[in-house]
Amino acid sequence: MRVLIVGGAGYIGSHVCKALAARGDEPVVFDNLSRGHDHAVQWGPLVRGDIRNAEELDAAFEAHQPAAVMHFAANIEVGEGQKEPLAFWDNNVAGVVSLLQAMKRAGCSSLVFSSTCATYGTPQSLPLTEDEPQTPINVYGRTKLAVEQLLADVSSAEDLRYAALRYFNASGASPDGEIGEEHDPETHLIPNALKAAAGLGGPMKLFGTDYDTADGTCERDFIHVMDLAAAHLAALDRLLSGAGSFQCNVGTGTGYSVKAVLDTVERVTGLPVPHDIHGRREGDPPRLYADVTRSRQLLDFQPQYSDLETIIRDAWNFHRIAWGVEAVKTG
């Protein structure tokens, strides 16, 4: 089976490509490489193109005749979205309009969409279920919610079946070290903690130690990127089997604190994590973790790699090579 992976040169998309190829399918990556990396495209062809360019999309559909599409081509950095909302709405929303039009022209009707728990905003109750009100508090979350609403509208009127997967904190790397997280700038906790441990870029910033949590730092639901990839394959298979459209959380149901992450980084690497304590960031809830009942029911999904130590060990295995610090002692 051939699948068009839009944004497949990025972090999550490349891991999905790896998982598809491992089971014998062919991922075709469509990416403009503005955020992704050509060296992460290893398991199928790379078509360089922009999701907003109808001619480039049509050419990709004509040449490769995919059975389905997976979408990862979004701007994701929250702070950037607050400063450049037009760019986020153009790529994250107008880009999906363009993609859906191309899918319609090509007669391709199955889409797995990468959504986010940021569509919920500040949670009213925990764990977060899919029925939690969606009241996003930043541009990134609003663009993802807009696409979910767009998909619902189109699927009610057109031949479209979709899965919207609301990620929690994607983390880790391919266990064999082939691919991993390479954002620029990097805003995610685990790679920044590892970078600080490796002595690259100075101390990490820790935002808030006075939350109403066990150790005063925020708690988040970290899911290994390979588990996330497995959830995408299960969602794809569900759609192609004829099931209707659906939305579901993809997380573990367990929250780990920032301090627990730093402690685990120190244990795995055998190195201290220099960090400076800063005040809370606006909009950061104390706790955020998923109710995973629906993903278990619909996808038979059970994370295999998402204990914190495995996540950090796999991330460190990738990063210390990527950063040229292979000789650094590990614990």
Supply the residues annotated as catalytic. 140
Is residue 144 within a helix (H) or strand (E), and if so which, with residue range? helix 139-157
The answer to whether 308 and 251 have CB atoms below 8 angstroms apart is: no
Question: How buried is residue 179: exposed, middle or buried, by Cβ count under 10 Å (0-12/13-18/19+)?
Answer: buried
Pairwise CA distance, residues 136 & 188, whole Å: 19
Pairwise CA distance, residues 198 & 213, whole Å: 28
Pairwise CA distance, residues 110 & 270, whole Å: 46
Closest among 212, 156, 173 to 12, alpha carbons compared: 173
Distance from chain centroid for Cα 26: 21
Coil, helix or strand at residue 154? helix
Length of the chain: 331
Tokens of 87: 């760019």
Instruction: Give the DSSP letter string of 171-206.
Output: E---TTSS-----SS---HHHHHHHHHTT-SSPEEE
Is residue 85 within a helix (H) or strand (E), and if so which, with residue range? helix 85-88
Pairing, β 161-167 against β 246-250: parallel
